[in-house]
Structure 1
Amino acid sequence: MVQIQYSEKYFDDTYEYRHVVLPPETAKLLPKNRLLSESEWRAIGVQQSRGWVHYAIHRPEPHIMLFRRPLNYQL
């Protein structure tokens, strides 16, 4: 069984970022033209601490979900 893969976090002056690589069978569940809410991405098995937002779709590789949250986010 292929696992969901999580990148290390990376940063700019405003946000911390990470990307999540979904296995093909999970990626098929993604809507094509919109971002997922936290409850939606948790429902497909993505596990992260609070505050992460699915902020962009990488069109060439839609199975890679792009997340960010403000630096110094308080849980």
Structure 2
Amino acid sequence: MINNEIRYSEKYQDERGYEYRHVHLPKCLVRFVPRDRLMTEAEWRSLGIQQSHGWEHYLIHNPERHIILFRRKIASDSSNKQTIGGKQTVRNSQHGKENKKCNRN
């Protein structure tokens, strides 16, 4: 089965205080994944990956480069908030960049 959609795993945790998830990219997007370094948030968002604030690309698994491994530190709900002018607001994680697409031909 050929799948041109990004798929997200369920979240899971470890005893060290991290939450994890892996994201399956369509294989046609693998060419945009750097081979020798981790991606920045702006880079993985430009691929079309959508997650809340705080996730980091933390590991490259070379045998399956289409699976992107993410983690974030488990913290209180206030970790996704910032204070602006004395008011607390939720950070906006959307970037106004166009996402890369697979050619569906």
TM range (shorter): over 0.9
* Aligned alpha-carbon RMSD (Å): 1.2
Q: 5+ residue gaps in structure 2?
A: 81-105
Identify the structure with the greater helix proportion: 2
Amino acid in the other structure paired with 2:5: Q
In structure 2, the residue matched to 1:3 is: 5
**2-structure distance, mates of 1:72, 1:8:** 18
Structure 1 residue runs without a partner (length 5+): none
2:61 corresponds to 1:58:
yes
Q: After the TM superposition, which parts of structure 1 deviate over 6 Å for at least 4 consecutive aligned residues? A: none
TM-score for the superposition, normalised by structure 1: 0.93
For the residues of structure 2 that align with 1:20 and 1:69, how far apart are their CA atoms?
A: 14
Counterparts of 2:49 and 2:69, CA distance in 1: 12
Identity of matched residues, % = 53
Provide the TM-score with structure 2 as the length reference: 0.68
Report the Cα distance in structure 1 between the residues aligned to 2:75 and 2:11, rounded to whole angstroms: 13
Distance (whole Å) between structure 1 residues aligned to residue 30 and residue 42 of structure 2: 16
**Which of 41, 44, 55 is equivalent to 1:41?**
44
